C-alpha cells in the first residue's frame, strides 16, 4: 500500500520515511509547563497550533496528562490517544474510554508507529515525566516548543534541551513575541536533535 505524502514538510535533516517522533509542549520563561494538574494559562493560538500539528497523528501522553484533559474532550478527536500507566486497573479503564493503554514509553512508541497509517509523525504530548524520559532516552528527533513571555508558579517543568544535542531549526516570529488575544506574548520554536 502506498503512503500518502506528508501534509506538512519534514525538516531537511529528517529521512523521508517515517513516522518520526516529535515532542510538543508550551512553557513559561521559567520552564513551567504545569501547575496542580493543569496548565496555568489560556492561549487560544497555542491550542490551535497544537490541534493543527497533532491532528491525524497518534499522540502519546502520561496518565496524569490524560487525567488533566476535560472528560468531554478525551480521547482527543482525530488522533489515536496512547496513554502510559503502570497500573493494570487504570489500563482497563483507559481502554473502556477508547484510549490505548501502554505500560512503558517504548511500548507506547511501538503502538503509535503501528497506528500511524499515513501520518508522518507521532507526537509525545506530555507531561513532565514523559518528556524527561523521552529526552533522556533520545526517543524524539524534534521538539515543537511554544514559549510564553510569562513567569508562573508551577510544579511541572519542561525538559532541558542541551545545546550540544539540540539546535533551533525554526522560530516564529524570528525575534520578539507575537501577542495572543489573551494578551500574553508567545513564540513558536522548532528544535531538532543534532
Ligand atoms: N504545557 C504543556 O505543554 C503540557 C503538556 C502536557 C502536560 N502538561 C502538564 O503536565 C502535568 C502532568 O505531568 P506529570 O509529569 O505530572 O505527569 P505525566 O507525565 O502526564 O504522567 C505521569 C504518569 O505517567 C505514567 N508513567 C510515567 N512514566 C512511566 C513509565 N516509564 N512507565 C509506565 N508509566 C509511566 C504514570 O502513571 P500511573 O501513575 O497511572 O502509573 C505516571 O504517574 C499537568 O500539570 C499537565 O497539565 C503540560
CATH number at residue 33: 3.40.430.10
Copy the grid coordinates of residue 68: 488533566
Eight-state DSSP code of residue 74 = -
Count of beta carbons in the 10 Å neighbourhood of residue 25 = 21
Whether residue 2 is contained in a domain is answered as: no
Percent of the chain whose predicted confidence (pLDDT) is above 70: 91
Res. 36: pLDDT tops 50? yes
Structural domain boundaries enclosing 189: 20-193
pLDDT classification of 118: cutoffs 50, 70, 90: confident
What local confidence, expressed as pLDDT, does residue 12 receive?
58
Q: In the prediction, which pLDDT does 163 show?
A: 96
Strands 185-193 and 166-172: antiparallel
Count: domains in the chain: 1
Residue of 143, 158, 131 whose CA lies nearest to 20: 143
The mean pLDDT of 121-140, rounded to a whole number, is: 97
Please check whether residue 61 lies inside any domain of the structure.
yes
Does residue 4 lie within any of the structural domains?
no
Whether 30 is in a domain gets the answer: yes
> What grid cell was written down for 180?
495572543
Average pLDDT of the segment spanning 80-85? 98
Residue 160's Cβ-count burial label (10 Å; 0-12, 13-18, 19+) is exposed
| pLDDT of res. 1 | 36
Q: What is the mean pLDDT of residues 30-58?
A: 97
In a domain, 15, yes or no: no
Rounded mean pLDDT, 56-79:
97
pLDDT above 60 (res 176): yes
Within 6 Å (CB) of ligand 1, which residues are found? Answer: 25-26, 33-34, 37-39, 61-65, 68, 84-87, 90, 103-105, 125-130, 133, 156
Phi, psi of 67 (to 5 degrees): -60, -30
Confidence category of residue 7, pLDDT binned at 50, 70, 90: very low
Domain presence at residue 141: yes
119 pLDDT above the threshold of 60: yes
* pLDDT at position 13 over 80: no
Q: According to DSSP H, which parts of 22-180 are helical? A: 44-54, 63-68, 88-96, 105-114, 128-136
Return the best residue to mutate from 22, 26, 34 for the ligand 1 pocket (most ligand atoms within 8 A of CB). Answer: 34
Name which of 166, 161, 159, 103 is nearest 133 in CA terms.
159
The reported pLDDT for the residue numbered 52 is 96
Residue 47 lies in a domain: yes
- Domain assignment present for residue 10? The answer is no
Amino acid at each position: 500500500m502506498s503512503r500518502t505524502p506528508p501534509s506538512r514538510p519534514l525538516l531537511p535533516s529528517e529521512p523521508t520515511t517515517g513516522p518520526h517522533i516529535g515532542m510538543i509542549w508550551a512553557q513559561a520563561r521559567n520552564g513551567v509547563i504545569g501547575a496542580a494538574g493543569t496548565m496555568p494559562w489560556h492561549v487560544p493560538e497555542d491550542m490551535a497550533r497544537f490541534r493543527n500539528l497533532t491532528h491525524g497523528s497518534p499522540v502519546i501522553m502520561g496518565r496524569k496528562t490524560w487525567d488533566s484533559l476535560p472528560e468531554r474532550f478525551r480521547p482527543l478527536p482525530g488522533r489515536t490517544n496512547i496513554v502510559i500507566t503502570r497500573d493494570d486497573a487504570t489500563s482497563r479503564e483507559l481502554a473502556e474510554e477508547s484510549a490505548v493503554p501502554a505500560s512503558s514509553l517504548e511500548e507506547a512508541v511501538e503502538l503509535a508507529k503501528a497506528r500511524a497509517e499515513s501520518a508522518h509523525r507521532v507526537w509525545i504530548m506530555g507531561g513532565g515525566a514523559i518528556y524527561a524520559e523521552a529526552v533522556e532516552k533520545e526517543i524524539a528527533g524534534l521538539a515543537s516548543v511554544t514559549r510564553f513571555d510569562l513567569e508562573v508558579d508551577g510544579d511541572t517543568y519542561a525538559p532541558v534541551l542541551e545545546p550540544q544535542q539540540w539546535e533551533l531549526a525554526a522560530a516564529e516570529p524570528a525575534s520578539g513575541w507575537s501577542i495572543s488575544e489573551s494578551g500574553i506574548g508567545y513564540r513558536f520554536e522548532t528544535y531538532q536533535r543534532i
